[in-house]
A and B are shown apart, each in its own frame.
Chain A
Amino acid sequence: MNVVVCVKQIPDPADPGELDPETNALKRDVKLILDESDSYGVEMALQLVTAAGGGEVALVSMVPNSEVSGLRTALAMGAERAVLVSDEALAGSDALGTARVLAAAIGRLGEPDLILAATESSDGYTGTVPAQMAQFLGLPSVTFAKSIEVSDGQVKVQRQTEEGYDEVECPTPCVVSVTAGVVEPRYPSFKGIMAAKSKPVDEVGVSDLGIDPDSVGWAGAQQKITGVVQAEAREAGDIVVDEGEGYLKIVEFLEGLKVI
């Protein structure tokens, strides 16, 4: 079974970043890492391929600037190869443009049985790309999966709902988005890290995919940022260091609210 995982390389979330005052886009000139949300998809793909008794996990990703450090992490976990769409024209892409590019990049990897993505990235968090991409690929999709089984050309998914979960079935090939926490992502081994350095990364431009560069990035985004303001800040209240009596402050506060 062949699985493609869509992965995103993002600025380290521990360093929340800032907006470029010129363009109002997220500044991305810092070192990029593999979005932790995507490590679950990579792990799930590796486990599904093992369970199927063979096959390959491949990656697709896009960046404006040839960055590969996050991809190498996923390759070190065990993915075999990657298609990286790298093009300055991609800067400023909205979710729809992103989905269009990823769908075309997946086309370079033959006919995978399954395409996995995170439910949303940790930096842009639109959460619409998996469904948009599935539409461009002409495939069914199951979003918000908390478990996946594949057998006899059918995918069985437990899909998160507000009340619990639904069991959903869908024929392959299809797109499935996975929630964080579905599996425990493995740490890359030293051997894996060394091997990842020589795994193939097929770097292509937007026009190599048959996509008009004017339809992606700033040029193609059909939305424009018209304002950026500081939100009304919440004032910090009393900060007390606990020396055994901290709980009394809480009791007092609860009494003040009349909840006890």
Chain B
Amino acid sequence: MVDTIWVHAEANEAGVKTITLEMLAKAREVADDVACFFGGDGDDVAETLGAHGATTVYATGDLDDALIGVPVAAAVAAMIEDGDGPDLIMCGTTYDGRDVAGRLSAMIGAPVITNVVDIVADDDEVAGVEPVFGGSTDVTTSFDSDQPGIFLVRPKSFVAEESGGDAADVEDLDVPDLGAVGTAVVTGRHVEESEGPKLDEADLVVSGGRGLGESDSYSMIEGLAKLLKAAPGASRAIVDAGWVPYSFQVGQTGKVVKPTLYMACGISGATQHMVGMKGSKNIIAINKDPEAPIFSIADLGIVGDVHKVLPALIEALEARS
């Protein structure tokens, strides 16, 4: 056990992000006292964070249009330098979470343990578990530092659960003078609308990869996804090739998914893809190459051409509806 953990809280219009609540659930297990730090107005999040076990939320107040990584990290670094910091810090593996962790680590000279999917604690030390080689090996790493260690936690590693606490106390998190490092500003925000369920929340996911051959064939993935009320996804290869937007990407660099069913169509199963989907309850894979690594984790593997199997499947499903 450790005395105090601080969790980086993130929120959007819909409220506190799930990744924050997942980290709070684990933090409660590992620490006697759990608090949050937040780049925004603490009153907006205090109730939810308290209900998930945070006793206090240190909040900067409105940061206007600043990119939040630098101001949030600088404010936390100042508290740590004043001797008011925690024993351990948790940030989510999100775009802003990685900025906060990276900046804070360099400001206070603390190490970051990244890609953490589990945290193990005993009397002496706390360690993070990170999957490597596509998830075939788990590496456990502990901190060896005088500064509070920082964990970067992957989404869906823990299950969010309310603890029934009162609203967290809101305390000021003062942002010091930032100088040149704090000059990046957000001038516009764009939400990419997508139909159907969201990729990282969907119960069914149908993904396509390089085996589709050409960009136009991705319409088969979308067609099948629509029939199954699934979210369409993609491997990094076809995102890099520009066939679909980055927001479709499943894997290490993209979204982590754990649906009831994951269908990998024309995806060979590169390490970076498998890490993002191997937690799915059921996996169906269709690939021409019988040696494709994806078959080693598939519950049902079809060795065949997606251009033959998918149209037949779509026709069969349409006939039923």
Residues of chain A touching chain B, judged by Cβ–Cβ distance below 8 Å, are 13, 16-19, 24, 94-96, 99, 119-120, 122, 125-136, 138-144, 146, 159-171, 174, 179-181, 184, 221-231, 233-234, 236-242, 244, 246-251, 253-254, 257, 259-260
Contact = CB atoms under 8 A, between A and B. Distances in A.
Given A161-B95, A234-B297, A240-B300, A259 B260 contact: yes
A238 B299 contact: yes
9 contacts: A94-B111, A128-B101, A128-B114, A138-B180, A166-B188, A168-B185, A174-B184, A223-B145, A231-B138
B140 A131 contact: no
Nearest to B110: A222
Contacts of B296: 234, 236
Given A231-B136, A241-B303, A143 B106 contact: no
B307 to A, nearest CB: 11
Nearest to B242: A181
Contacts, number: 276
A221 B145 CA distance: 9
Interface in B51-108: 67, 69-70, 93-95, 98-99, 101-103, 105-107
Contact of B111 (A18, A133, A222): A222
B94 A140 contact: no
B181 A96 contact: no
A250 B300 contact: yes
B121 interface: no
Interface string B173-196: 000000111111111111110000
A132 B313 CA distance: 49
Contact of B253 (A120, A134, A146, A248): A120
- Nearest 6 pairs between A and B by C-beta? A242-B304, A131-B102, A135-B106, A227-B140, A237-B299, A222-B111
A197 to B, nearest CB: 29
B253 A180 contact: yes
B101 A24 contact: no
Contacts of A141: 69-70, 99, 181, 184
Contact of A131 (B99, B302, B303): B99
Given A160-B246, A163-B12, A179-B246, A119 B253 contact: yes
B139 interface: yes
B213 interface: no
A134 B246 CA distance: 25
Contact of A237 (B186, B286, B301, B320): B301
Interface size grouping (class) on chain B: 35 or more
A132 to B, nearest CB: 4
B72 to A, nearest CB: 12
Contacts of A180: 236, 239-240, 253
A166 B252 contact: no
Contacts of A130: 102
Nearest to A99: B106
Interface stretch (B20-28, B42-50, B127-135, B160-168): B127-135
Nearest to A165: B190
Given A140-B180, A240-B303, A253-B284, A228 B139 contact: yes
A170 to B, nearest CB: 4
Nearest to B101: A128
B1 interface: no
B115 interface: yes
Nearest to B19: A162
B189 A249 contact: no
Contacts of B320: 260
B271 interface: yes
A99 B114 CA distance: 15
Contacts of B191: 163-164
A234 B253 CA distance: 22
Nearest to B155: A162
A128 B81 CA distance: 22
Contacts of A222: 109-111, 143-145, 147, 149
A164 B192 contact: yes
Contacts of A165: 190, 192
Nearest to B315: A247
